[in-house]
Each structure stands twice: as C-alpha cells, then as structure tokens.
C-alpha cells in the first residue's frame, strides 16, 4: 500500500505539472508577460513547499505531508474553473497548486527512497515514471476526450486527486523521525562542499528546461498555426510518453552505468533535441523531436537526487532539500524570463525558448566539473 500510495501521489503531481501548459492557450485575455507571472506563481509555491516539506515530514510524518499536499491540490483544482481566466484569481490558485505539488513530490520520493539504498537511482526512476504517465494523461484526455474543455479537465483532475487523498488518509505510514530535515549542525559541512552547489546548479538548469516544455510547448505550437488538440497530443504522446518510456528504460541501465555518466549523456541529448524542437514547423517532426527530448530528460531529476544521496550519506535530507529548492528556483526564474520575452508573436517565444538548449549545454559543463568533486568525497 505504501508503494501504491507513493505512485498515485507522483501520478497526481504529473497531472498538475502538465496542467498549466495544457490550459495556457485558453488564457486569451492574458499577455505573454502575465502568463509568465502565472507560471511564476506556481513555481513560487513549489519553492515554498520544498523549504517547508522536509521539516514537516520529519516532525509530523510523511502521511501528514502527503495528505496536506493532496488536500491543497484538490482545493486549487476545484477552484480553477471558477477563476474565469482572471489574472488576479489565477495567481493565488496556481500558487496553491504549486505549494501542494511541491509537498507531495518531496513526500512521495521520501516514502520510497529508503527501500533499497544500494539501488536508489533505479527505485526513484521507477517511481517517477508515473510522473510521466500523469503528464501524458492531462493533455491526452484534454485533447481526445474533453475537447480541450478546461473546466471539465480541472474537475476531472480534482476528483482523481480527491480519491488519492482519501487513499492516503486510510493508509498506514511510518511515524515521523522526530528530527528536522534541515539540521544546522551539519549545514556548515554540507554547504562547504562544491559538489552541493554544482548539483544545485545542475538541477536548476534541468528543471528550467523540463518545465519550460511542459508550460510553453503547446503555446509555441499553437502560435505556429498547429491546431490546439494536435499540439496537446504532441505534448502528451511526444514529450510525456518520452519521459515515461525513458524512465522505464533507464532504471536497469543505472544498475550498471554510473549516475554521473547517465546524466552527462542526458544533458548533451537535451541540448540537441530541444534545439531541434524549435527548428521545425512540421507537427510530425515536432512530435519526434519532443519525444526524443522526453527520452533525454527522463533520468535527470530522479538520478540527480540519487547522486545527492550518494554524495551526502550524512545530512542527506538537508542536501536534497537544497538541491530540490534550486530546481524550483530555476523554474521561477525561467518562467519570468520566458514570459517577459515571449510577447505575442512566434519569433519572440522561439527566442525565449532558446534558453532550453542553451541551459542544457551549460548542464554538460557543470556535469564535467562535478566529477572530480564526487571522487574527492567517496561514499562511506
């Protein structure tokens, strides 16, 4: 039941991760800059959650954290159709959605991360493939079953989240550890290691790229003149399916190939595929490029967390909290930049989205710089 609960929580997170990008083109009354601020509101919720979720889990338990996060998501999804696309109402709604999402992604990963420490990377990749499944479901259902009806989509997701909430309420989970996740007695040692900051920058750049696709791909394709339902299917059966399949494939690979090598290959392929994604106007070619981008990105988030766990056998939760927070900060900053540049035309949005391949190139350089730092502090 613990595994089922964690899987459903990550599935819900995948649903809401794809939600904003799925409904973004329907915000016709908003400017590109306002859409950027809406994405920023969700990102700020994730940042706040990543800072608070660790202490909440350790003091109150994983169950309290997961139930709280799912409750916040349920409330925000039921409220979303009542915003009427109003900028002033969308901001707090997406902030609440991000807050709930950040809590459950931390709680669910914490719930399963200690099942098999020797194969942490493979276990976390298996769990997070259900994130890809949730991300696939949102745009696919919107395009093929709900006729891109934002109201029905939000209510459908809210009901599913409510069911997951009830399951978590009745599921027995381990008691709280009684220790705060952020332990300041260890902070000096952790913060003094360059490996932490390199891993944080790596996650910062990765999350900026991944969520950049989730939030802006459909908008970009629609501006190219591609029908919205087809654009949603490209996001679903292209990007989300690539993430799903990639995590299925990489789990056994990580048993034999080091995490740092897997993430290096991923970063290089991300640079190539996200650039190709922006260079084509053909829906078929765009779908193929986006699918390959999903495959490339698939291992990065869970495998980077596994690298943090291996590099910091003491103060693991503190280190993970810093790295995850860096990822959400990347989302917040990139959302603001992309929204500011995007404007109303296709060329402006394309220029803004070039941040994705550019950031991926920097990820390659960061990975190369990280290697000697990891060797300097072998696992104990």
Q: Where along the chain do its domains lie? A: 2-177+186-376
% of the chain residues with pLDDT over 70? 91
Residues 233-250 as b or e (16 or more Cβ within 10 Å = b) = bbbbbbbbbbbbbbbeeb
Q: Which residues are CB-neighbours of 311 under 8 A, at least 6 positions away?
A: 193, 195, 196, 199, 319, 374, 377, 379
Q: Is the pLDDT of residue 185 over 60?
A: no
HSE-CB of 202 using CA atoms within 13 angstroms: 31
Highest mean pLDDT among 171-175, 235-239, 269-273: 269-273
Q: In 74-85, which positions are buried (b, 16+ CB within 10 angstroms) versus exposed (e)?
A: bbbbbbbbebee
Q: What is the pLDDT of residue 148?
A: 77
- pTM comes to 0.81
Q: Which residues contact 329 (CB under 8 A, 6 or more apart)?
A: 43, 47, 204
Under a CB-based contact definition with an 8 Å cutoff, are residues 43 and 335 in contact?
A: yes
Q: How far apart are CA 264 and CA 286, in angstroms?
A: 24
Q: Give me the mean pLDDT over the 83-105 stretch.
A: 90
Fold topology of 2-177+186-376: Growth Hormone; Chain: A; (1.20.1250)
- pLDDT of 379 reads 46
Identify the band that residue 12 occupies on the pLDDT scale cut at 50, 70 and 90: very high
Closest by alpha carbon to 102, among 67, 165, 161, 53?
Answer: 53
Rounded to 5°, the CA angle 197-191-47 comes to 65
The owner of tokens 């202490």 is 55
Q: What is the mean pLDDT of residues 20-24?
A: 86
More confident residue, 215 or 129: 215
Q: How many CB atoms are closer than 10 A to CB 256? A: 6
Query: What confidence category does residue 118 fall into, taking pLDDT thresholds of 50, 70 and 90?
Result: low
Work out the pLDDT band at 231, boundaries 50, 70, 90.
Answer: very high
Beta carbons of 87 and 139 less than 8 angstroms apart? no
Residue 159 has pLDDT above 90, yes or no: yes
Determine the Cα–Cα distance for residues 109 and 128; give it in Å rounded to an integer. 8
Closest CA to 108 of 11, 15, 246: 11
| CA 265 – CA 284 distance, rounded (Å) | 25
225 contact partners, CB below 8 Å, separation of at least 6: none
More confident residue, 160 or 30: 160
């Amino acid at each position: 039941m613990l595994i089922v609960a964690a899987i459903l929580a990550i599935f819900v997170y995948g649903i809401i991760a794809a939600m904003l990008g799925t409904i973004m083109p329907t915000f016709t009354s908003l400017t590109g800059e306002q859409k950027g601020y809406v994405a920023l509101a969700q990102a700020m919720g994730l940042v706040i959650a990543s800072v608070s979720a660790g202490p909440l889990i350790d003091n109150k338990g994983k169950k309290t954290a997961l139930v709280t996060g799912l409750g916040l998501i349920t409330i925000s999804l039921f409220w979303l159709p009542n915003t009427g696309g109003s900028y002033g109402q969308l901001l707090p709604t997406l902030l609440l959605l991000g807050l709930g999402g950040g809590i459950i992604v931390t709680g669910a990963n914490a719930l399963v991360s200690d099942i098999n420490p020797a194969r942490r990377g493979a276990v976390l990749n298996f769990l997070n493939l259900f994130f890809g499944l949730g991300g696939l479901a949102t745009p696919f259902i919107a395009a093929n079953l709900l006729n891109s009806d934002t109201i029905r989509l939000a209510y459908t997701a809210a009901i599913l989240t409510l069911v997951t909430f009830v399951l978590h309420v009745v599921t027995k989970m381990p008691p709280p550890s009684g220790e705060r996740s952020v332990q300041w007695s260890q902070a000096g040692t952790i913060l003094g290691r360059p490996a932490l900051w390199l891993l944080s920058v790596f996650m910062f750049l990765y999350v900026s790229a991944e969520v950049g696709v989730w939030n802006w791909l459909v908008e970009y394709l629609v501006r190219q003149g591609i029908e919205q339902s087809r654009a949603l299917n490209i996001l679903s059966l292209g990007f989300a399916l690539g993430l799903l399949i990639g995590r299925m494939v990489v789990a056994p690979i990580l048993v034999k190939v080091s995490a740092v090598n897997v993430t290096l290959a991923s970063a290089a392929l991300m640079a190539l595929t996200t650039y190709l994604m922006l260079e084509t106007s053909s829906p078929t070619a765009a779908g193929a490029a986006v699918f390959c981008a999903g495959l490339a990105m698939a291992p990065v988030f869970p495998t980077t967390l596994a690298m943090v766990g291996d590099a910091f056998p003491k103060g693991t939760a503190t280190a993970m909290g810093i790295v995850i927070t860096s990822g959400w900060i990347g989302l917040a900053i990139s959302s603001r930049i992309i929204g500011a540049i995007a404007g109303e035309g296709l060329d402006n949005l394309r220029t803004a989205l070039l941040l994705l391949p550019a950031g991926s190139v920097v990820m390659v350089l960061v990975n190369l710089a990280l290697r000697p730092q990891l060797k300097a502090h072998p696992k104990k």
